[in-house]
Amino acid sequence: MPGRTFTPDEANALLPEVRPLVERMVERRADLLAARARQAEVAAQVGGNGGGLDPRVPPALADAAIEAETGLHEVVRALLELGVQVKDPDSGLVDFPSERDGEPVLLCWQLGEERVGFWHGLEDGFAGRRPL
């Protein structure tokens, strides 16, 4: 639904569908970062002398990173298909395009918040959040 806009009530009504997707997005992002950090550790070990490294570890880490990245992409795609903009996959920050006084704005919601209760201008970002 490109170009979809939401009223605050519509955004809040969508939260039961959005919240679990955002939870999974945050989890997949954390999994991806952990897998990449572990890959960097193993690469450093291999770059040394690789001593004692189980040869099954690098492919298993690569598979874990691919699985996490694929899962992250799937969740982000599902959110985008709903018309929700992903702003920060680490903290679970998303925006719902909206209008206020005839001007385009973004309704702002972050994982852990009970409801969509903030908005900001298109260029303001999280720091410019104001209560609805």
- Supply 96's token pair: 């719902």
Q: Which pair of structure tokens corresponds to residue 52? A: 């004692």
Going from the C-alpha of 11 to that of each of 32, 87, 91, 108, the distances in angstroms are 28, 16, 19, 10
Q: How far apart, in whole angstroms, are the C-alpha atoms of residue 33 and residue 41?
A: 12
Domain limits, the chain: 8-124
Tens digits of residue pLDDT in 101-131: 999 999 999 999 999 999 999 999 888 999 9
Average pLDDT, stretch 72-98? 97
Q: What is the pLDDT of residues 31-79, one digit of tens each?
A: 999 999 988 888 877 766 666 677 788 888 889 999 999 999 999 999 9
Where does the pLDDT of residue 1 fall: very low under 50, low under 70, confident under 90, or very high at 90 and above?
Answer: very low
Q: What's the CA gap between 69 and 10, in Å, rounded?
A: 30
The pLDDT, as a whole number, for residue 55 is 76
| Confidence at residue 100, expressed as pLDDT on a 0 to 100 scale | 93
Quick one: average pLDDT of 71-95? 97
